[in-house]
C-alpha cells in the first residue's frame, strides 16, 4: 500500500513539474516573439518615418509590456502622421491613448481621449464601453447613465450593455 502511494506521489510531482516546464516554455516563447516584433517594428519605423501603422503597432507592444510612457510617445507621434480622413482609425488610436492613460490612473486625461474618439466616431462601441467603465469606477452615475443610453441605442443585446444596465438598476435602487 505504501509503495503504491509513493508511486502516485512521484507521478503527481512529476506531472506538476512537466506542466510547469510547459508553461514556462510557452511564456518564454511569447516573450521572445514579442521582442522580435518589437525589434522589427523599431527598424520599420526608423526606415520609414511616415509609417504610422508600424508606429501604432510599436506603441501597442509597449503598452502590452507596460512601458506606458514609451507607448504614449509612439501613439502621439503616430497621431501626427495618421491619415486625417481615417476617422475610425483615429478613433481607435485615441481610444488606445485613453486606455494607456487609464492604466496610469490618469482618469481625466483618459476620459478626454475617449470622448475625443467618440467625436470622431460616435458609434465606436469600444470607446463608449471604456468610458462607461471609467465612470463606473469613479461612481459618476449621471455620466454613466448617459453613456449607457448611447450604448443601448447601438447594441441593446450586447453583454456589456446588459451588465451596465444591471449595475445601474442596482445603484439606482440603493440610492432611491
Alpha-carbon separation of residue 27 from 24, 61, 172 (angstroms): 5, 16, 44
Q: What is the pLDDT of residues 121-156, one digit of tens each?
A: 999 999 999 999 999 999 898 898 899 999 999 899
Answer yes or no: pTM beyond 0.75.
yes
Give CA angle at 32 (29, 35), nearest 5°. 150
Burial 73-108 (b: 16+ CB within 10 A, else e): ebbebbbeebeeeeeebbbbbbbbbbbbbbeeebbe
Report the CATH number of the 51-174 domain: 1.25.40.10
Domain residue limits, the chain: 51-174
3-state secondary structure of 1: coil
Q: What is the pLDDT of residues 20-62, one digit of tens each?
A: 999 999 999 988 888 888 778 777 777 776 678 888 988 999 9
Amino acid at each position: 500500500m505504501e509503495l503504491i502511494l509513493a508511486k502516485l506521489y512521484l507521478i503527481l510531482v512529476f506531472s506538476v513539474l512537466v506542466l510547469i516546464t510547459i508553461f514556462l516554455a510557452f511564456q518564454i516563447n511569447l516573450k521572445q516573439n514579442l521582442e522580435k516584433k518589437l525589434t522589427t517594428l523599431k527598424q520599420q519605423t526608423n526606415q520609414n518615418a511616415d509609417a504610422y501603422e508600424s508606429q501604432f503597432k510599436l506603441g501597442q507592444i509597449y503598452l502590452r509590456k507596460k512601458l506606458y510612457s514609451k507607448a504614449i510617445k509612439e501613439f502621439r507621434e503616430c497621431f501626427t502622421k495618421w491619415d486625417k480622413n481615417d476617422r475610425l482609425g483615429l478613433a481607435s488610436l485615441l481610444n488606445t491613448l485613453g486606455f494607456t492613460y487609464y492604466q496610469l490612473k490618469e482618469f481625466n486625461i483618459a476620459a478626454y481621449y475617449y470622448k475625443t474618439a467618440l467625436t470622431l466616431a460616435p458609434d465606436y462601441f469600444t470607446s463608449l464601453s471604456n468610458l462607461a467603465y471609467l465612470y463606473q469606477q469613479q461612481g459618476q452615475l449621471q455620466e454613466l447613465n448617459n453613456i449607457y443610453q448611447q450604448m443601448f441605442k447601438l447594441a441593446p443585446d450586447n453583454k456589456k450593455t446588459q451588465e451596465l444596465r444591471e449595475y445601474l438598476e442596482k445603484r439606482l435602487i440603493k440610492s432611491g
